Amino acid sequence: MQYLLSLVYLVLLPAVCASGQGAPTVIAGKVAHPRQPSIVIGDTTVPLSGSGEFTYRVDLSEPPQFAVKHGEINFEIFAEPGEKLSLSFNADQFPERVQFIGPSAAINALLLQLQPVSNHLGRI
């Protein structure tokens, strides 16, 4: 599986590196039925609003893979430099109710499908 993820990155890397340079990457969205008042993206704890919304901004020079954690929910996402990625999910119905919107939505949907269920729930 790691081979497949590496291959996907190698195919996408030239296209994404050319886009969005100089603009901040924004990952924003909503957690329905949140289990805690924040979401962790990479190494940053991002607070949720009263309605479960969040916004994370970061300057990127290359497309990274971010670990996302909310309670026991763990998964990885990919973001392009300068991209505006929307990530929304229902914590009570994860991973069935996850929505990505943005240029890397399809790759993130694929990444989510390729990750073991134990990673999603933080337990085996």
CATH at residue 65: 2.60.40
pLDDT tens for each residue of 94-104:
988 899 999 99
The span from the CA of 116 to the CA of 124, in Å, is 9
- Blockwise average pLDDT, block size 10, the chain, 124 residues: 52 49 89 97 97 96 91 93 96 91 95 72 49
pLDDT tens for each residue of 43-55:
999 999 999 999 9
Q: At what angle do helices 105-114 and 2-17 cross, to 10 degrees?
A: 170
Tokens of 43: 């190494």
Query: 105: domain range?
Result: 2-121
**pTM of the complete model:** 0.77
**Looking at the 3D structure of the chain, how many domains does it have?**
1
